[in-house]
Amino acid sequence: MASETDIRAALEWETDSKPPDEKNTWIWLWEAIQGDFNDNRSTGQIAFDTGISMIPVVDQICDVRDIIANCKNIAQSDEREDNTWKWVALALTLIGLFPSLGSLVKGVLKIFFTFVRRYGLNHLVKAVDEAMTWVITLLRKRDVQKYLRKLKVDEVFKWLANSIREIRGKVSVGALLKAFDKAIGILKKLLEKVTWIPKVGDRAKQTIALVEKVRKQADAQLAKAIAPIQKILDRIIHRLDMEHMAQRSGILNASNVHFRGTLPEAQAVTLMCKTEPLPPWLSKGREGKWAEQKVRVGEKLLKKHPDWPKLDDTNIRSFHTMKAIEIKGPAKLFRITSPSNGAMGDCWVPEDVWKKILASPDPKAAWRKYSAVWPDWNPNGQFVVLEIKEGETLKVWRGPAASQKKLEHPDLNAHLEGGWDQVIVKVEKSQRDSTRYYMRGGGHGEKLHPPGLSRAEWETLSKEKKKAYTPIREKINHPNIKGPLDTGWGSTDFDPQLRDAKIGLPALPGQVTN
User: 103-128 pLDDT, tens per residue?
Assistant: 788 888 888 888 888 888 888 888 88
For the stretch 256-283, pLDDT in tens is: 444 545 667 777 777 788 877 888 888 8
Residue type at 327 in one-letter notation: I
Nearest-5° Cα angle at 53, 216 to 247 = 115
Q: Are 256 and 508 in contact (CB under 8 A)?
A: no
Least Cα distance to 356 among 370, 336, 372, 345 occurs for 370
- Give the Cα separation of 120 and 89 in Å (integer): 10
- Give the Cα separation of 285 and 72 in Å (integer): 69
The count of structural domains within the chain is 2
Q: What is the pLDDT of residue 355?
A: 87
Instruction: Assess if residue 169 is contained within a domain.
Output: yes
When computed from its CA atoms, the radius of gyration of the chain, rounded to whole angstroms, is: 29
Q: What is the pLDDT of residue 386?
A: 92
**In this structure, are 147 and 190 located in the same domain?**
yes
Q: Are 411 and 282 in contact (CB under 8 A)?
A: no
Bridge partners (DSSP) listed for residue 333: 350, 386
Instruction: Assess if residue 308 is contained within a domain.
Output: yes
Bridge partners (DSSP) listed for residue 503: 259
Count of helices and strands (H, E) across the chain: 18, 14
**In this structure, are 107 and 158 located in the same domain?**
yes
In order of 61, 119, 181, 317, the CA distances from 493 in angstroms are 57, 48, 56, 25
**In this structure, are 419 and 447 located in the same domain?**
yes
Least Cα distance to 60 among 114, 139, 6 occurs for 6
196 Cα distance to chain centroid: 51
- Give the Cα separation of 193 and 356 in Å (integer): 54
User: Do β-strands 469-475 and 502-505 pair in parallel, antiparallel, or remain unpaired?
Assistant: unpaired
Question: Alpha helix (H) ranges present in 140-283?
Answer: 142-151, 156-170, 173-191, 200-247, 265-274
Q: Are 331 and 242 in contact (CB under 8 A)?
A: no
**In this structure, are 55 and 191 located in the same domain?**
yes
Question: How many of the other CB atoms lie within 10 Å of CB of 125?
Answer: 17
**In this structure, are 106 and 230 located in the same domain?**
yes
The DSSP secondary-structure symbol of 310 reads P
Nearest-5° Cα angle at 330, 337 to 473 = 20
Instruction: Assess if residue 490 is contained within a domain.
Output: yes
- Give the Cα separation of 430 and 476 in Å (integer): 11
152 Cα distance to chain centroid: 22
Q: What is the pLDDT of residue 99?
A: 76
Which strand ranges, in their side-by-side order, compose the sheet holding 481-486? 323-328, 393-400, 421-424, 347-350, 331-337, 382-388, 481-486
**In this structure, are 127 and 236 located in the same domain?**
yes
Q: What is the pLDDT of residue 195?
A: 64
Q: What is the pLDDT of residue 41?
A: 44
Instruction: Assess if residue 106 is contained within a domain.
Output: yes
Length of the chain in residues, anyone? Answer: 514
Instruction: Assess if residue 252 is contained within a domain.
Output: no
**In this structure, are 230 and 273 located in the same domain?**
no
Write out residues in the chain with pLDDT < 50, as ranges: 13-14, 20, 22, 35-53, 249-258, 260, 442-447, 449, 497-506, 508, 512-514
User: Helix, strand or coil for residue 482?
Assistant: strand
Residue environment code for 311-335, b if the CB has 16+ CB neighbours within 10 A, otherwise e: beeebbbbbbebebbebebbbbbbb
443 Cα distance to chain centroid: 43
**In this structure, are 217 and 295 located in the same domain?**
no
**In this structure, are 343 and 472 located in the same domain?**
yes
User: Helix, strand or coil for residue 76?
Assistant: coil
The DSSP secondary-structure symbol of 431 reads G
**In this structure, are 276 and 199 located in the same domain?**
no
* Cis, peptide link before residue 277, omega less than 30° from 0: yes
**In this structure, are 8 and 145 located in the same domain?**
yes
Q: Which of residues 217, 247, 277 is at a domain's end?
A: 247
**In this structure, are 103 and 140 located in the same domain?**
yes
Domain boundaries, position 120 = 4-247
Instruction: Assess if residue 212 is contained within a domain.
Output: yes
Q: Which of residues 247, 272, 304 is at a domain's end?
A: 247
Q: Cα dihedral sign for 437, 442, 444, 447? A: positive
Q: Are 327 and 319 in contact (CB under 8 A)?
A: no
Q: Which of residues 224, 247, 270 is at a domain's end?
A: 247
Nearest-5° Cα angle at 412, 411 to 413 = 105
